[in-house]
Amino acid sequence: MHRRSRTSKIILGLVFGLASLLLIGAKASFAQVPQVQHVIIVVEENTDYADVCGPNNTSSMPLLCGLQIQGSFSANYYAPTHPSIGNYNDLGWGVVTTNNDGCNPSSCGFPYTGDNIVREVQAVSKTWKGYSESLPSTCYFGGDSGQYAVRHSPIPYISDVQSNCLNRYVAFEDPNLGFAHDLAANMLPNYAFIAPNLCDDGHDCTLPGSPIPDQWLQNNVIQPLLNGGHLDPTTGDTVLIVTFDESNADNTNGGGLVYWFMMGKGVKQNYQSTGPSASPGFYSHESTLRVIAELLGVSFSGLGGAASAPDMTEFFGPSGPAPVASLSPTSLTFASQSVGTTSAAQTVTLSNTGTATLTISSIVASGDFAETDNCGGSLASGGNCSISVTFTPTASGTRTGSSSVTDNASGSPQTVGLTGTGAAPTTTASLSPTSLTFASQTVGTTSAAQTVTLSNTGTATLAISSIVASGDFAQTNNCGGSLAVGGNCAINVTFSPTASGTRTGSLRVTDNASGSPQTAGLTGTGTASTTTASLSPASLTFASQTVGTTSAAQTVTLTNTGSAALAITTISTSGDFAETDNCGSSVAVGGNCAINVTFSPTASGTRTGSLRATDNTSGSPQTVSLTGAGSSIAADFSLSVAPTSGTITAGQSATFTLNVTPSGGFNQAVNLTCGGAPQAATCTISPAAVTPNGSSASTATITLSTTARGTVGPGLRPRRIFPLLGDQLELTKILWLTVMITLLAGLIAGRRRQMRLPLGLAMLMVVLGAGCTGGVQGTTPVSGTPAGTYTLTLTGSSGTGSSALTHSITVTLTVN
């Protein structure tokens, strides 16, 4: 029994081990595909592989193709059939059920009741959703409607969908149930099939040609998923598949070679597959159905051809660094350019969107195109550089070429198509404005200039033969003999009418441009010259003036307001009036001169007269009425002051107003002075002279400024020579003292020798007393303006000699 037990255990172990090996072998493919939360598939329409992301970056979907660095794509993927509907059958349940595009979800034996991807997803309690753009309504299972094509999705043909469609088969753009809403609300289903409408899937907005499908896919699906981090290969939770239902004109392997792309969690980056090695040696929609099931962890054994389709495990795993080069834009078109001239540059950007440094071997432009660039020999990952392309046509007509970048990236060389049109050089000139009108101009005079601009709007240098103005018109210009392309110059035209009335002419530019000569019409009006003069003011009134004296002058202006020179015959005055002027014998048009009139009454009372200018104007002579009053009162002036007295403290200032009032029409200058200012004080007058106008007073301001008083310190006083004699030492006392000292000295020198010593001691004491004694302090001297009452004399003087007039007035100032 014991041996049997051991043998049984060994046999059972071998059986379990073999079963495990078989199971591991069967699940090996499955284990290499990561499990993700969401799988999203977007199917585009009817486009050949080469027209999506073809060779040399000639892409009709540059945004999609630019994502290759972030994902994987296949260059060996074929649609199984034509037309559309069978391909969508294959993507939904792994079998081409029909090739009749006219079948609706309720005809041709539909709905499909066999095993399908929706059933398998529901079987493991996962969610699904069909997003069809332009779907008329939720759970719509009718035929085509507007931009909605029912055959472009397998979802409405499945019985499991028709029986459980509420909130699951919806319009892509539905604001409450659509894709954008679910993505923002973090409510994406585990499996989502997105069907763009007939334009956005490339069916009607055809590829290549229309940018709409690429932009719609980028803006509405890919970029929102990238922004949310869902497609991150490491931390994301989603795998996105983008493919095409069938090719446009290729029938290879049934439906032709189409583009297939995948990115997201666990997907290799910058990976291109040319596999698989397994039969049939290419991928198809059934492999896509299989990998979707594997990513979601659901069974695919009942999904038709998906059960045996080549697995797509090669697209998953770590990615190696590699450069990816792209050029943008992929083509340039230049405007028409004159043969032999060079266009402005257009810019192409070379970008390395790969994960390794791009090594650049060469950048070359062909044909009539040239390039400069700042790319150097390499471009770091994520970097870009600029290629500037110019067009210099060597002949007219359409010119083509390319700019090619040879590097170490796949698809090298990258190229940009270049097109331009060469144009034979032309000369075209224009004048602006095409006519000039001059205002009325006096015959024989010249107007201000008006400007006409000559422009070279052609593509060759403008050769100028002549520029001429006809009629009463003349021109000057800065054009020279030629004008460069795009250049312009100024022609200044003046009008000098030789007769009155409408005058016409033209400006003509003769050159090598078509349509030469270019002309501008010239029109002006000549007017006969007129002489018109005016005197201003029209009258003068003089103030009262003493009989026998002459007033100050008043001025009258003579103006030539006409259109011809003013010829002056005489200018004269009548009555007690006289004139001087600077008019001469003529005044130019618009000019003027001054006539100065004075009044010298010969009698008292009102005196009248006139100023007359005789000339060649109509209405000559021009006159100005003159009026003045003669007075028998001699011209004089008087002084008054306010206030007449003032009191201030030493150090302050006092201000008085002096009025000079004329009488008898006095109107001469009066000089003003101030006298009698106290010690340490100044008296100023402002202004120092006034001139009355003969009738009203003129004023001046008198300012007396004093100085504050102070004392002199003891140390500054002189020392006394003989302090015992006091401050006032008289000269006679000094002499007597000198005599006494001399007599004493004689006695000492004489007979009484015995007295010498006492007398000598006395003299020494006197001298010492005089030298050492500081003396008695006396009275301290005072500085500043002393206190007291002062009389200031204000004097006004006018004229000299016997006709001089002088008047004075006093003002009392008390200083405390």
- Reported as a single tens digit per residue, the pLDDT across 422-433 is 998 888 999 999
Question: Can you name the CATH fold of 533-631?
Answer: Immunoglobulin-like (2.60.40)
Q: What is the pLDDT of residues 39-95, one digit of tens each?
A: 999 999 999 998 898 664 456 888 898 888 889 999 999 999 999 999 999 999 999
Percent of the chain at pLDDT above 90? 72
pLDDT exceeds 50 at position 158: yes
Among 102, 207, 87, 214, which residue's Cα sits nearest to residue 153? 87
pLDDT exceeds 70 at position 450: yes
The encoded tokens of residue 370 equal 């040239």
What is the model's pLDDT at position 716? 42
Among 324, 493, 293, 296, which residue's Cα sits nearest to residue 405? 324
Beta strands in 441-562 (DSSP E): 441-442, 450-456, 462-469, 473-477, 482-483, 488-495, 501-511, 518-527, 533-536, 539-541, 545-546, 554-560
User: Sorting pLDDT into bands at 50, 70 and 90, what band is 13?
Assistant: very low
| Average pLDDT of span 574-594 | 95
What is the model's pLDDT at position 783? 85
How many Å separate Cα 254 from the centre of its chain?
62
What is the model's pLDDT at position 459? 82
What is the model's pLDDT at position 54? 66
Residues 6 or more apart in contact with residue 289 via CB below 8 angstroms = 90, 91, 92, 93, 94, 117, 300, 303, 304, 306, 309
| Average pLDDT of span 764-775 | 43
Distance CA 412, CA 73 (A): 18
Beta bridge partners of 283: 77
Of 20-24, 44-48, 208-212, 453-457, the least confident: 20-24
Q: What is the pLDDT of residues 508-531, one digit of tens each?
A: 999 999 899 999 999 999 998 888
pLDDT exceeds 60 at position 14: no
pLDDT exceeds 90 at position 216: yes
Distance CA 400, CA 368 (A): 7
CATH 1.10.260.40 fits 429-527, yes or no: no
| Average pLDDT of span 333-349 | 94
Q: What is the pLDDT of residues 683-726, one digit of tens each?
A: 999 999 999 988 889 999 999 999 999 855 444 444 444 444 44
pLDDT exceeds 90 at position 206: no
| Average pLDDT of span 154-173 | 97
Long-range Cβ contact pairs of 175-180 (< 8 A, separation 24 or more): 177/138, 178/131, 179/131, 179/220, 179/221, 180/220, 180/224
User: Sorting pLDDT into bands at 50, 70 and 90, what band is 19?
Assistant: very low
- Answer CATH for 636-709+788-815 from 3.50.50.60, 2.60.40.2310, 3.20.20.70, 3.30.1490.100: 2.60.40.2310
What is the model's pLDDT at position 562? 85
Structural domain spans, the chain: 37-315, 325-423, 429-527, 533-631, 636-709+788-815, 714-774
What is the model's pLDDT at position 728? 41
What is the model's pLDDT at position 718? 43
Phi and psi (nearest 5°) for 513?
A: -85, 155
CATH fold match for the domains 325-423 and 429-527 = yes
Count of residues for the chain?
816
Q: 325-423 belongs to which homologous superfamily?
A: Immunoglobulins (2.60.40.10)
Distance CA 506, CA 504 (A): 7
The encoded tokens of residue 154 equal 């397998």
What is the model's pLDDT at position 738? 53
Distance CA 553, CA 542 (A): 9
- Answer CATH for 37-315 from 3.40.47.10, 3.30.1490.190, 3.40.720.10, 3.90.10.10: 3.40.720.10
What is the model's pLDDT at position 528? 87
Q: What is the pLDDT of residues 224-278, one digit of tens each?
A: 999 999 999 989 999 999 999 999 989 999 999 999 999 999 999 888 887 898 8
Beta bridge partners of 463: 482
